[in-house]
Amino acid sequence: MATVSQRDECKTSGTEDQLRMEEGGSLGCCGFILYVLSLLAIVVTFPFSLCLCIKVVQEYERAVIFRLGRILSGGAKGPGLFFIIPCMDSYTKVDLRTVSFDVPPQEVLTRDSVTVAVDAVVYYRVQNATMSITNVEDANRSTRLLAATTLRNVLGTKNLAEILSDREAISHLMQSSLDEATDPWGVKVERVEVKDVRLPVQLQRAMAAEAEAAREARAKVIAAEGEQKASRALKEAAEIITESPAALQLRYLQTLNSISAEKNSTIIFPLPIDLMQGFMQRGGGGGSRL
């Protein structure tokens, strides 16, 4: 409902501006007399009067002309040359280029009761020069103040985790809110970017400790999984070697080769398992007799 009412107000204000432009043609009796006298002064002082009557605006500028306090019909003039009557007309130049400004760091209390300092950058441009002059006193200053207020309002509804992870969504929400609010001013907000989120020192330490604990737990889990896989592989290798005595002898030779390569003074030769099995069987039989 609020959006519909704002659009209706915009249409109403646009209609009023159009009526005022149309009424600008009727200057009244005093205005007509002043108009004639001004033209006579221009003709008498010609060509010197051209320096005061002819003005130039650049490609990226528009001139909003007021004649006796009323906007001339046809809206803003430019780019190029335009003609004014010095005694009756006054004009204001409006820059249509995209302007960027930094929103100062705002102390915001998030929804989960955490105080953070957040700053942003806003890009906007004037899309209607006449509305930016007639509907607001200072479009640039008003947009800056509104951006700071909108930043606090939007971040106050978010958790700390959402602010840290969903910056793009927050930027889009701010851009749409600012664009809707500045539309009656003839200002188009093109982009909003959240630059930095500053956390309290104690909270930074707590988050760092939490992240370190999570990394240590993950490392222990990975090490345990590695040991489990290694034990399974060793078990399978032992079963394969047990099935083939020749493979066990080759393993002995590989062990001797690795020991001799290290230049050790003492080398231990393991006995074959076949010889040990005879003694083990005799020992087992004696134990059973006892």
Q: What is the pTM of this model?
A: 0.61
Closest CA to 132 of 76, 72, 58, 191: 76
- CA atoms within 13 Å, Cβ hemisphere of 260: 7
Tell me: the pLDDT tens digits for 10-23?
444 444 444 344 44
pLDDT confidence of residue 26: 57
**Cα separation of 286 and 289, whole Å?**
5
DSSP 47: T
DSSP 77: B
pLDDT confidence of residue 242: 74
**Cα separation of 251 and 258, whole Å?**
11
pLDDT confidence of residue 278: 58
State what percent of residues in the chain have pLDDT above 90. 17
Tell me: the pLDDT tens digits for 104-160?
888 888 888 888 888 899 999 999 999 999 898 889 999 999 999 999 888 888 888
**Cis geometry, peptide bond prior to residue 86 (ω within 30 degrees of 0):** no
DSSP 290: -
Per-residue tokens: 56: 């130039």
**Residue 268: which region, alpha, beta or left (left: phi > 0; alpha: psi -120 to 50)?**
beta
Beta-sheet strands, E only, within 69-127: 70-71, 80-83, 89-95, 99-109, 115-126
Q: How many residues does the chain have?
A: 290
Inter-residue contact 174 to 127 (CB < 8 Å): no
Own/partner long-range contacts of 274-281 (Cβ < 8 Å, ≥24 apart): 274/245
pLDDT confidence of residue 19: 39
- Please state, rounded to an integer, the average pLDDT across all residues of the chain: 77
43-47, 59-63, 187-191: range with lowest mean pLDDT: 43-47
